[in-house]
Structure formats: structure tokens, C-alpha cells
Chain A
Amino acid sequence: MANLKERNEEVVVTANGSAVLQTPYIDAVTNKGYLDVKQHKWIMPEWLKGWIALIPALIFLIVFMIYPIINSFMISFINNFYWVGGSNSSLAIVNFIASRANTRSSIVQSFGIQNYVNIFKDQLFWQALGNTGLIVIVEVPLTILVGLIIAVCLHSIKPLQGFYQTVFFLPYVTNAIALGMVFNVMFSDGSAGLFNTLIGWFGINPVNWLGASASKWSMFFVIVVYSIWNGIAFKILVFMSGLSTIDKQYYDAARIDGASKFTIFRRITVPLLSPQILYITVTSFIGAAKSYSQIIALFGAGPVNFGGTDGTRWITIVGFIYKYMQSTQESALGRAAAGSVILLILILLLTLVQFAVSKNRVHY
């Protein structure tokens, strides 16, 4: 209790010479705790209060984020990793030590980069990487553009605004798998499918959208449409809240300055919305890089199917990781861990690049 300062009422002499009894001034943010003599209690410093309030969140963070990340990082650098029966630990490093003591097994775990060597030799990984890259490159710009346009339109209409908002927020509250089933019906094969009927009116022959023998790009089309629809509500919400903070006078000024609607959108709205656009870009990139559920939702999860004849046509990195985690193949777990570490690093790099690029283009 040495650094606790005692505070009490003190006598202060004012400028005109009279003495005044003053209660001590307490900083809004006290860096040190002190003993309040009057109330007989210790006043906690602000930073401690902050930490205490954060404890529940921190516990969850450690259990569900930090620990798995460290663990998969460890696993990815252990050759021939397997869980030793009876090691009684879910920590990879403890498991590793136990495996060295386990002389009965013929598989020897050791530190090394064998998992990474394996994964880079794996044809399926490159396919997953390519698929994920395509999804990211096509889906992110499209979803932002569409979201932005819908948000601007929604923002500018007065009547029925509430109704349209509800329509666009429906996918947000709908289960992704349920939505996938709906899409499955909409894009079902033959001329009975909703979408095929629709394009039939324009004289286009029915397309096999999602079937096992469907072309790669018809599947891709559905995946992109589905992903945009599935994720757009949140983006619209963010853009709309951003739009409502833009001073209407800028638009009045721009009208007087003779700017067309498109010029206003491009040169006034977009720059003033740039903090929201950056936020959505970063989160969309991360989300798209982690694509998985959309594909499962469209092609079915039991057994896990990523489309095509062999069920891996549109496998993504997360799909790849998942597939190997389930696999009983030798050292599959190590490969899955290596995949997840690569994904983490890719996302990190992408995000850093985005922040660097946006530095001069975002106007807070």
C-alpha cells in the first residue's frame, strides 16, 4: 500500500486571502489508486477497472483464438504429427514431448517443415488457393459496388424506405444453409428451375448450374450471386449509417457547382464514405478469403461436397483445411495446420496492403 496516496479535504487559501475548505479534486482518469479517508475505502485506478471489465472477453479470446492459433502454429511445424493416446493434453507441445517418450510407435514426430513441403506439393491445395483467389477477386469488388449502389438508392428514396430496408436485411437474419437450399432450388437443373425458366423467356437454353457435371463457371456464377446476396445486408447497413452522417450541404453545394448525379457519387459520396468503404473492404476480403459455408450450402454437406464430379471443384482454403482435419490419412492434421497458418499470413498481408494503399485515399 506504499504508493497509495491519502487524500482528504484540504484548506485552500484563495486569492483574496480567505481560507476555503475544499474537497480534493479527483482526476477523471486516475492513474493511481488512493485511499478515500472519508469513505473508508480504496478507490480503484481507472486502468484496473478497465482490465477487470475486459476479463470475460479476454478469457474467451484466449480460449477460442490465441490458444488455437498457437497450437496450429506448433502443429504445422511438427513432422508426422498425431495425437498420442493418453498424453492427456491438448497442447501440441506437450503432446509432442509425450510422443518422443512413446517408443511403441513407429512414427517419429520431429520439428521441421515437412507439412509445408507436402502442402506445396499437393495439387488440391493449389486448386483451393486458386478458387479462393477467384472468389475474393470477383466477389469483393462486386459486393461493395452493389452494396454501395443499393445503399445510396435506399438513402435517397423517401416513401417505402422502411419496406425496402427490410427486404435487403432479410438475408442477414436468414440462415446461410437455408438460403443455400433456396438457391439450390432456384438454380436447379432442367427447365423447371426458377432461374432457367427466367432465362428461358429470353430464349436461352436451360443451364446445368450446380449439378455434378455442371461447368466450372456456371457454378462460380451461382457461388458469387449467393455470396453477394448472403453478405450484402450488413454492408448496406454500414454504408447507410455512413451516408446519414454526411452533411446534406455538400450535396446542395455540389448541385450548385453543376455536378451530375454520377459526379456527385464518384467525387463526393465515395470519398466521404471512404472510412466505411475501407472497413467493408477489409472485412469482405477476410470473409471471402475464408469462404466455405456458401459452397457447402450450395453443394451439400453430407458428405462434404464442393461441387463437380469429385466433389472438390470449388474447394476453398478453409474447405481444404477442413477436409484434411477430417481425414485419417497420415500426417493430414499437420497439413491442415499448415494450410491454416498460410491462410492467416495471406489475410494478414492482404489487410496490411489494403491499409497501406488506403492511407492517402481515406478521409476521416
Chain B
Amino acid sequence: MEVRIEHLTKSFIGKKGSKTTAVNDMSFVVPDGKLVGLLGPSGCGKSTTLYMIAGLHKPTDGHIWFGDEDVTNVPPENRGIGLVFQNYALYPHFSVKQNITFPLDNVRFPSPLQAYKTRVNEAKSQIKKAQKAGDQEALALHEKELAEAEEALQKATEELEQIKVQDPERYAQLTKKKLTKEEKDEIAHKMARLVDIEPYLERKPKELSGGQQQRVAIARALAKSPRVLLLDEPLSNLDARLRLQTREEIRRIQKETGITTIFVTHDQEEAMSISDVIVVMNFGVIQQIDEPQKVYDEPVNLFVAKFLGSPAINIFDGEIKGGKLYVAGEVFDDDKVYKEEYHGVIHHEYAFVKGTRMTSEEYQADLAAHPERLEGLQPKEVKALKNPEIEIVQEDEEVVKKDRLVKIGVRPEAFTYSKKGSLPIDVQFVQHVGRDVSVIGRVKGQETGMKIIIPSESWKDVVGQNELRFEPKRFYVFEESGERIK
């Protein structure tokens, strides 16, 4: 089942009328049978997106498609989804088995005649409509349809009666309204085997470890054979080792069942290791959709570059001058992209809601540290900034520039040591850790710290030096607004 999200938007209206846009115009596709990782920092709208797909939140705007079916207004129970909550939400008063079978208890099979009856009713209502509109042609058409439908119903009823006499077993199977206890037990055991919790079926959730609870939650979500499995940071409550183990388990279960899955996480490593495709979000907006390696190797903007990778990417300042890229006063790179003018809009985002994205203290401190951010703002906007209820104040500045400051990103492992390297580093200290040598320092004349990881063999070259030069194997150049240039 392919899941398609189209222009999905969700705004929450606060008590005082303030508006929070948790998800903003999101579109992406989860291919059938794939696992998509929804990755972003805390509060970026991941859960909100998932809940909209689940049907627990009603989208403010946009559509959700499951295959060819528009499920935007379908209630959660009819969507055929399984959801694993951020903190599992296992029913504390049920045993593990009851937790797994609870969704099955609610399954109701329609009568085999249901479809025929629906057709009859549909025809009847069409006739009424046609009568009201006085449309003779349509009336005749629908009356014919009604006759056919009634005939079909009659035939099906007779057929069913015949089965009742000839094959009572089959009749019972056909007219069954609920799953029997044996069937439910069988499914419970099957699910429990799948997630490896069969010995604990009679226990209460609180008698299980976090990892076991998490697996019960998956079993419950899978019990009804959903079309789509949704997981909301399912590993966030587990310790590091269990997290690693469970992550692989989820991947195994997903592959085994071939179920289309959306996996929410704020842990980039987790997303990278488990997903077929990663959707990176920030502030409710999609930043990049790509395969994990591609997101890592080719980040589309500064946010994605910074968010992925551990240890984090090194970011330092550069300057485009006369069509060339300079770092620390030396030419760092020469390329025709630097000769192009920059036409763009710089988004400045200053204000943050109290408690969610940045506390008011942090925000005040941040403002105090950067008074220049207030420059050029209207007095009204400045006042709005000081009101912690305000979520984000955006000022869009249009710019056309040739010479300008830029940010350069290089991953720690993407350096080679070279006496002729293009990047001069002031070394703070050098460390030999395991197979690697890490050099901690700063780009000459700059403030931001750098971490450079090179192979052990270079140890004798770099130890005891105050200044070293490195050559980046690959690097990314970003506008100050975050947009990628190269």
C-alpha cells in the first residue's frame, strides 16, 4: 500500500488565538512495502504528521492517500493502520495477550448480503433524488438499476439459504460476525512469536522491560494486519544497547511482513540505519527527501548537513570575492558557481514560543547576544519579539549579491592531511583514539571549533604541531541563509 501525502498542513489554534503551524505544506510518498524515516528535531511536527496519517488529528489542509483511496476524512478505525505510540500506550489493566487481541475483539465482519443491500439502498436514494429533481431520464435509469439490484439481492439470499442447508460449516464461516476466541488466540501467538515475546503473554505490561513493552506495542499494532504501520519514536525510552537491538528487530519484522512503514525519530543515526528513504523536517517543513546515504552525502541545505552525522559536520566561514571562494585569506576553491549572482530571500527567524522551541530566558539571552537582529525591524515587530507568546517572527530580506559571506561544511572524516592542503588549522590538541587520530582545533583566524578525523598512520605527522594544513576530500558551500551553493 503506497501512502501519499499531499500539501498536508496542520495549525493548532491556542487558547489566546495564537496560531502554531506544526506541519506546513508537506508532500511526500511512501512507496509500497518501504520504510520511510521521518527525521527532525524535537517539536518539528513529526508526531503531528503521524497522527494525521493515523486519523487522530484532522488536517487543516491537504490530503492523505492510501493507494487510490483518499483517507483524509476516514476515521482512524477504518484506515487499516497500526500505530505504536511514543510511550507505547499499552493498556495497563490488560495482559499482554489481551493487549494484542483487543484490536481483534473489535473486528466485525459484514453480512455477506451487505454489499447487495447497500446497492439496493443506493438505488433507492438515487431514485428519490431524481424524483426531487424531476429528471425522468435518470429516474428510469435508477429504477432499472433498483430492479436489478433487488434481483441480485434476492438471488444472493436464496444462494445463502441453499448453502445453509447443504454446507452448514461454510454457512457459519460466511455469516460469522466476529473472530472466534481460537482465531484470536492463534493470531496473538503468531504476533508474539514474530516479536519474540511468547513467554510473556500472560503478564501485565508493567511486569515487562521497556524493550519487551515496545515489542508488545508492535505486536498489537500488527495484530489487525494493517495496511500501514506507523511508529512514533518507538525506541526513545530504551537504553543504548537495547535500542540498537530493537532497531534491527523492527527492520527485520518490517522486511518479513513487507508492510509499508513510517518511522518517526529525532535520532539521525537511527533514521540512517533503518530507513529506505529519509524525510528530514524542521519547523514543520520538509527539508529533504532522499535515501539515507544521499541525505548524508548531498545535504540540500545547512540544516540537513548539520542535523545528520555524528560527530557533527564542521562548519566554518568563507567569503566569495571576485568569483572565488576564500577561507582565512587564501583561495579555497575556484568554480563558476561563485561567479553567479545570488538572488535570494534571507529568512530571519527570531522569536520562539515560550517553552517549546526556545525558552524565553534562552531567547532573551540569545537576543542580548545578537542585538544586531533587532536592527532594521519595525518597532511593532520588536515589540512582538518581546512577547513570548509569539511563535516566529519572520523577516524576509531580498538580496542580490555577488560578493558575500558563506558557510562551508566538511565532515570530520572527509579530510586528508597534506602539507599543501588548502585549509590552515590552529591545533588545540591531537588525540589518538582507537583506529583514528582526531585533531581538535580551529580554522586559522576563526572562532568555531573543528574536529578532524584522520587515519592512525598520520599520527607522527600531526603530533606536536601547532599549525597543520588539511585538504578536504569533499565539502559543501552554503549561503548564510542555509541554501546550498555547491
Contacts and interface: CB of A to CB of B under 8 A. Distances in A.
Interface of A: 247, 249-250, 252-260, 263, 267-268, 271-272, 274, 363
B106 A250 contact: no
B91 A256 contact: no
Contact of A258 (B85, B87, B106): B106
B102 interface: yes
B106 A259 contact: yes
A240 B393 CA distance: 40
A-side interface mostly:
helix
A252 B47 CA distance: 13
Contacts of B76: 255-256
Contacts of A256: 54-56, 76-77, 81-83, 103
Interface residues of B, number: 24
A258 B224 contact: yes
A363 B92 contact: yes
B93 A271 contact: yes
Given A258-B77, A258-B107, A258-B224, A252 B89 contact: yes
A258 B102 CA distance: 9
A249 B93 contact: no
B91 A250 contact: yes
A363 B93 contact: yes
A188 B42 CA distance: 65
Contact of B85 (A253, A255, A267, A272): A253
B89 A247 contact: yes
A247 B93 CA distance: 13
Contacts of B93: 271-272, 274, 363
Contacts of B82: 256
A54 B101 CA distance: 50
Given A249-B85, A260-B106, A263-B106, A255 B91 contact: no
B89 A258 contact: no
A54 to B, nearest CB: 34
A257 B107 CA distance: 9
B83 A253 contact: yes
Interface of B: 51, 54-56, 75-78, 81-83, 85, 87, 89, 91-93, 102-103, 105-107, 220, 224
A247 B92 CA distance: 11
A255 B83 CA distance: 11
A250 B99 CA distance: 11
10 contacts: A250-B89, A250-B91, A252-B89, A253-B89, A256-B77, A257-B77, A258-B106, A259-B102, A263-B106, A268-B91
Listed residue (A258, A267, A274) with the most chain B CB atoms within 10 angstroms of its CB: A258
A255 to B, nearest CB: 5
B215 to A, nearest CB: 16
Contacts of A267: 102
Contact of A257 (B55, B56, B102): B102
- Which are the 9 A-B pairs with shortest beta-carbon distances? A258-B77, A257-B103, A258-B106, A249-B89, A363-B93, A271-B93, A253-B89, A256-B76, A259-B106
Contacts of A363: 92-93
A255 B56 contact: yes
A205 B153 CA distance: 49
A254 to B, nearest CB: 8
B56 A252 contact: yes
Contacts of B81: 256
Contacts of A247: 89
A1 to B, nearest CB: 48
A267 B83 CA distance: 19
Given A255-B76, A272-B93, A249 B106 contact: no
A269 to B, nearest CB: 11
Given A256-B76, A260-B106, A363-B93, 4 more contacts: A255-B56, A256-B77, A256-B81, A257-B106
A258 B89 CA distance: 15
A258 B82 CA distance: 11
B213 to A, nearest CB: 13
B77 A255 contact: yes
Given A252-B56, A257-B77, A272 B92 contact: yes
A239 B387 CA distance: 39
Contacts of A271: 93
B106 A253 contact: no
A253 B91 contact: yes
Nearest to B78: A258
A250 B78 CA distance: 18
Listed residue (B54, B55, B93, B107) with the most chain A CB atoms within 10 angstroms of its CB: B93
Contacts of A257: 77, 102-103, 106, 220, 224
A246 B81 CA distance: 24
Nearest to B54: A256
A254 B56 CA distance: 11
Contacts of A249: 85, 87, 89
Contacts of B51: 252
Nearest to B217: A253
A255 B224 CA distance: 13
Contacts of B224: 257-258
A314 to B, nearest CB: 40
A272 B89 CA distance: 13
A256 B92 CA distance: 17
Contacts of A260: 106
A276 to B, nearest CB: 14
A274 B89 CA distance: 18
A83 B76 CA distance: 74
A274 B92 CA distance: 12
A258 B220 CA distance: 12
A30 B94 CA distance: 41
